Each structure stands twice: as structure tokens, then as C-alpha cells.
């Protein structure tokens, strides 16, 4: 296991990134001394489905500032498999019933909730009440009210909260934000964003069951298109209009199949997004008044690929986004760096999701959005 080195710690403090006042007020596992950086943070994954199994657990083997310390699962058989594979002590293994006992576990610093969307709020709130910092998978919850309940529980219990927005840690996203901020292609006029895939799996899966998913493509892939529309434009939208299309109603009985939406921004820029469970889409294109740039693929696990109207490619070395994301949150906790995917960002996206569904229910009527800078992290 790698440790945060004295050199990296010194470098961060010399850059003024260490806020000791804040560090003194947030809980950490016993044996950890805030400001000393003498250990990696222990993360417990809640829900051992495909994302935990194939992305988060392998990524935790590549993180510098955290490690897989525990698991919470409702499936008894998974306990021994994960125990063996990741050398997890029995005392760090929980089920959904005894999960609250995690309050007594000094090794777990962060609880990472990776369950179906409708279960996020319950488990994030239980984790906060147990005094654990929280990472909540996207979408943050299935309503704005639930997002507020998670944010309040974290504030009341003095713990930090991040949404599992892996793209916020990806260097390609930082590059997009830089182009927009520095006006590399002059003012952004139009953003186009697609996020979808073709679902042909088990019709009984939770993603097609509204009570568990909260909605279809919009809740699942749509949040990526919302996010890219926002960082492609460099600001929050002031209104949205949306349309829904269904071509396989026998399969998508309970959830949305394809949604398109148009955003307006205060400076006159517009964005168009498409999200689908019945069409592939993985692209962001941003048009400025002096050229354009594009990511395609734009939000898969990587490598991402990009190009510009100048004939240049946008290229960065590949590193697992999830490893970068979990390290970013650990550095926020350890070194008081910026929280680049705070709960407010997840809440903002859910406000937009609700406005999109409202617009659809009102025949595409434009919905005003009063977001200010909510969820914007620069
Ligand atoms: P999954 O279906 O593979 O796993 C779901 C897990 O929840 C399983 O371990 C299952 O046993 C457990 N579970 C508990 N109660 C359940 C219930 N009532 N019905 C169904 N499963 C139940 O799903 P996943 O792909 O791992 O997604 C989990 C979460 O992670 C979702 O919120 C999803 O949006 C998010 N996710 C995020 C990304 C990303 O790129 N950030 C990628 C995939 C999934």
C-alpha cells in the first residue's frame, strides 16, 4: 500500500492547499492525524453490482490517497468472494441491516453508495448519521427533495459529500473548461451533447423500473448530457424545453426511452442534448464564434478522444477516471482542496431533470430555471 509522501504533503501545504481549521473539524478514522497525511483513507463500497465490481474496486487498487477498506452488501455469497479477493477483514463487512454499526468502525472514513438510484438517499443519510464522509453515485437521488435531505444530513453530521461524477476528474473535462474560460474559440454560441446506449437486457432490470431508477435514460445517461451542456457553455442554463420519444414502448413500459432538450443561457448561447436507452450517443461539440472543439467519445470510461477546428487533437495520458475521482475527494478531505463534485452539483442536475420532465408533461413548454451559480465549480 502506498502512502502520501512527506514530499507530496509538503508540496500541497506550500501551495496553500491545507486548511487546518477545517481539517480539525471533520471526522476521520482513529489513528489518523489531520494534517499529517499518515495513511490512506478507508472507503467502504455499498452495493456490489457491476459498477463496484468492474470499475470502482479495480480503480481503488490504483488510487494514491484511499483504499478499499470495507463492503456493504445484501448478497451473502458476495461477502466471501470480496473478502478473499481484496483481503477485507470480516469486521469491515456489513449488510443492509447492520450497516449502521459502521459508526463503530474506526477504519472506514468514507462510505461510497453504489445502489439503485432510489436507495441513494437512505444509505447516504445513514452513512452521514454514522459520521462517515459520503460519495453518492449519480444520479444523486430521484428528486430534488431527496438531494436536499442528503445535503442536510451531511451538514448536520459534519461530514463531506461528493457525487460520483467521474468526468469531473477527467483531464479532458478540465481542458473543455479551460477552452471555455479562456475563450480559445471565442464566445461559445452553441453546444451539442449526446449520451445514450441501446438497452436490450433483462426487461425486469431496476433501470427500467421507475420505483427504483426514478426515470429512464434521463436519470441514467442524461445527467452526462446535462453536465457537458453546462461545462460546454461554461454556465448554468436559464431555461429548458424538452421532448420525449418512444419507439419500443413494449420494452420501455415504465421509463423514458429517448429525450431531447434545449437549454438557453443568459449570454444568448444555446445547447441541445439527446439522451437515450435506444440510441448510441457519446459526444460533446462546442461551437464558438471562432471555431469549435469536440470530444467523441466524450463520457465513457476512456480513453476519451478530442479534436478542434484548428486540426489539433486533444490528448491526455489515460488514467482510470474513478481512481482520479476518489483521489480528488480524498485530497479534498485530507488537504482541503476543492470539492469538484459537491452535493450542490448533484442537486442542480436534479432540478434540471425535474424541469425536463415538467416540460415534457406540458407539451415541451419552456421552463425557467433560477440556478444562479449552483453547482458551478471553477
Ligand atoms: P447493478 O444493477 O449492477 O448493481 C446494483 C447493486 O444494488 C447490486 O449489487 C444489487 O444486488 C444491489 N441492490 C440492492 N437492492 C436492490 C434492488 N432492490 N434492486 C436491484 N438491485 C439492488 O447497478 P450498477 O450499474 O452497479 O449501478 C449502481 C449505481 O451506480 C447506480 O446509481 C448507477 O447510476 C451508478 N453507476 C454510475 C456509473 C458512473 O459512470 N458513474 C456507472 C454505472 C453505474
Measured torsion, CA atoms of residues 180, 229, 340, 172, in degrees rounded to the nearest 10: -60
Give yes or no: 224 in active site. yes
On the question of pLDDT at 10 being above 60, the answer is: no
Q: How far apart are the first and last CA of the chain?
A: 32
Q: Exactly one of 224, 231, 285, 357 is catalytic; name it.
A: 224
Whole-number Å distance between alpha carbons of 145 and 132: 21
CB-based contact 167:322 (threshold 8 Å) = no
Average pLDDT over residues 247-267: 98
pLDDT in tens, 292-338: 999 999 999 999 999 999 999 999 999 999 999 999 999 999 999 99
Residue 50 Cβ inside 6 Å of ligand 1? The answer reads: yes
292-312: buried (b, 16+ CB within 10 Å) or exposed (e) per residue?
A: bbbbebbbebbebebbbeeee
pLDDT in tens, 274-297: 999 999 999 999 999 999 999 999
pLDDT of residue 5: 31
3-class secondary-structure state, position 239: strand
* φ and ψ at residue 174, rounded to 5 degrees: -60, -40
pLDDT of residue 38: 53
Q: What is the DSSP letter of 313?
A: E
pLDDT in tens, 63-89: 999 999 999 999 999 999 999 999 999
The three grid cell numbers given for residue 252, joined into one nine-digit string: 420501455
Q: What's the whole-number average pLDDT of the chain?
A: 92
Average pLDDT over residues 12-39: 48
Query: 115 CA to middle of ligand 1, Å?
Result: 4
Residue 297 Cβ inside 6 Å of ligand 1? The answer reads: no
Ligand 1 probe mutation, 49, 54, 201, most atoms within 8 A of CB:
49
Query: 137 CA to middle of ligand 1, Å?
Result: 9
Ligand 1 probe mutation, 73, 118, 122, 137, most atoms within 8 A of CB:
137
pLDDT of residue 1: 31
Atom of ligand 1 nearest to the CA of 166: 41
Residue 202 Cβ inside 6 Å of ligand 1? The answer reads: no
Average pLDDT over residues 209-216: 98
Whole-number Å distance between alpha carbons of 297 and 222: 15
pLDDT of residue 378: 82
pLDDT of residue 39: 73
Residue with cell 442534448: 273
Give yes or no: 138 in active site. yes
pTM, whole model, 2 decimals? 0.93
On the question of pLDDT at 189 being above 80, the answer is: yes
Residue with cell 442536475: 349
Average pLDDT over residues 339-359: 98
On the question of pLDDT at 33 being above 80, the answer is: no
Average pLDDT over residues 126-153: 98
Catalogue all structural domains in the chain, each as residue range(s) with its CATH number: 6-163 (3.40.50.720), 169-320+343-368 (3.30.360.10)
Whole-number Å distance between alpha carbons of 174 and 328: 13
CB-based contact 353:218 (threshold 8 Å) = yes
**What percentage of the chain exceeds 70 in pLDDT?**
90
Ligand 1 probe mutation, 56, 196, 206, 223, most atoms within 8 A of CB:
206
Pairing of strands 291-295, 278-288: antiparallel
On the question of pLDDT at 9 being above 50, the answer is: no
Query: 289 CA to middle of ligand 1, Å?
Result: 41
Amino acid at each position: 500500500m502506498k502512502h502520501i509522501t512527506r514530499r507530496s504533503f509538503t508540496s500541497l501545504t506550500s501551495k496553500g492547499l491545507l486548511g487546518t481549521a477545517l481539517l480539525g473539524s471533520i471526522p476521520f478514522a482513529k489513528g489518523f492525524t489531520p494534517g499529517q497525511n499518515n495513511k490512506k483513507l478507508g472507503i467502504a463500497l455499498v452495493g456490489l453490482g457491476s459498477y463496484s465490481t468492474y470499475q470502482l474496486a479495480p480503480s481503488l487498487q490504483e488510487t494514491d490517497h484511499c483504499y478499499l477498506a470495507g463492503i456493504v452488501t445484501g448478497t451473502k455469497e458476495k461477502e466471501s468472494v470480496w473478502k478473499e479477493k481484496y483481503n477485507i477483514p470480516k469486521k469491515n463487512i456489513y449488510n443492509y441491516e447492520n450497516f449502521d454499526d459502521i459508526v463503530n468502525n474506526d477504519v472506514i472514513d468514507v462510505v461510497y453508495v453504489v445502489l439503485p438510484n432510489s436507495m441513494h438517499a437512505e444509505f447516504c443519510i445513514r452513512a452521514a448519521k454514522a459520521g462517515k464522509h459520503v460519495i453518492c453515485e449519480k444520479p444523486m437521488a430521484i428528486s430534488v427533495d431527496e438531494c436536499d435531505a442528503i445535503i442536510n444530513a451531511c451538514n448536520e453530521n459534519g461530514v463531506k459529500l461528493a457525487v460520483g461524477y467521474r468526468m469531473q476528474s477527467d483531464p479532458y473535462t478540465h481542458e473543455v473548461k479551460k477552452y471555455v474560460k479562456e475563450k480559445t474559440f471565442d464566445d461559445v454560441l452553441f453546444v451539442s451533447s449526446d449520451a445514450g446506449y441501446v438497452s436490450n437486457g433483462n426487461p425486469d432490470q431496476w433501470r427500467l423500473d421507475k420505483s427504483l431508477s426514478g426515470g429512464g435514460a434521463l436519470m441514467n445517461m442524461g445527467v452526462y448530457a446535462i453536465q457537458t451542456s453546462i461545462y460546454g457553455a461554461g454556465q448554468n442554463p436559464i431555461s429548458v424545453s424538452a421532448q420525449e420519444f418512444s419507439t419500443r414502448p413494449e420494452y420501455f413500459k415504465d421509463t423514458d426511452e429517448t429525450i431531447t432538450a434545449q437549454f438557453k443561457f443568459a449570454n444568448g448561447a444555446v445547447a441541445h442534448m439527446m439522451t437515450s436507452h435506444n440510441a448510441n450517443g457519446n459526444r460533446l461539440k462546442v461551437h464558438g464564434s471562432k471555431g469549435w472543439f469536440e470530444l467523441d467519445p466524450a463520457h465513457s470510461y476512456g480513453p476519451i478522444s478530442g479534436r478542434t477546428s484548428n486540426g489539433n487533437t486533444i490528448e491526455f495520458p489515460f488514467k482510470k477516471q474513478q481512481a482520479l475521482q476518489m483521489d480528488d475527494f480524498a485530497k479534498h478531505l485530507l488537504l482541503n482542496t476543492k470539492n469538484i463534485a459537491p452535493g450542490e452539483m448533484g442537486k442542480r442536475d436534479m432540478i434540471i431533470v425535474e424541469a425536463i420532465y415538467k416540460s415534457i408533461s406540458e407539451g415541451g413548454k419552456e421552463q425557467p430555471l433560477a440556478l444562479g451559480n449552483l453547482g458551478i465549480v471553477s
